[in-house]
Amino acid sequence: MIKLQTKVKVLCFAGLGEAIGKCVEIPVDSEISVSELRERLISTYPEHERSIRSCMIAVNHEYVTQETAIKTGDQIALIPPVSGG
């Protein structure tokens, strides 16, 4: 459970990291799920919405369901798919 006004650190991979920063902090004011965090990121970086939507979100090096609650100290990673070949 995240307490009021805590911040979640999000590691951004690949081109997204170059665009918005390799590690960004998102303030949250209550418990937040993975899908809510994605929406929060989109509202913070609206110009990168399409890129953020394409990402996989991992918590503590693990892919989790969209409903998973994020806890204080969790390591969050936002990973866009790599397309080229």
- Cα distances from 24 to residues 11, 14, 16, 29, 84, in angstroms, run 7, 14, 11, 16, 26
Calpha distance 47→50 (Å, rounded): 8
Q: Is 83 helix (H, G, I), strand (E, B) or coil?
A: coil
- Site for other proteins contains 80 (CB under 8 A): yes
Q: According to CB under 8 A, which one of 6, 14, 44, 69 is a site residue for other proteins?
A: 14
Nearest approach in angstroms of CB 12 to other proteins is 12
Q: According to CB under 8 A, which one of 4, 5, 46, 82 is a site residue for other proteins?
A: 82
Enumerate binding residues for other proteins (CB under 8 A).
13-15, 50-51, 53-54, 56, 58, 61-65, 77, 79-85
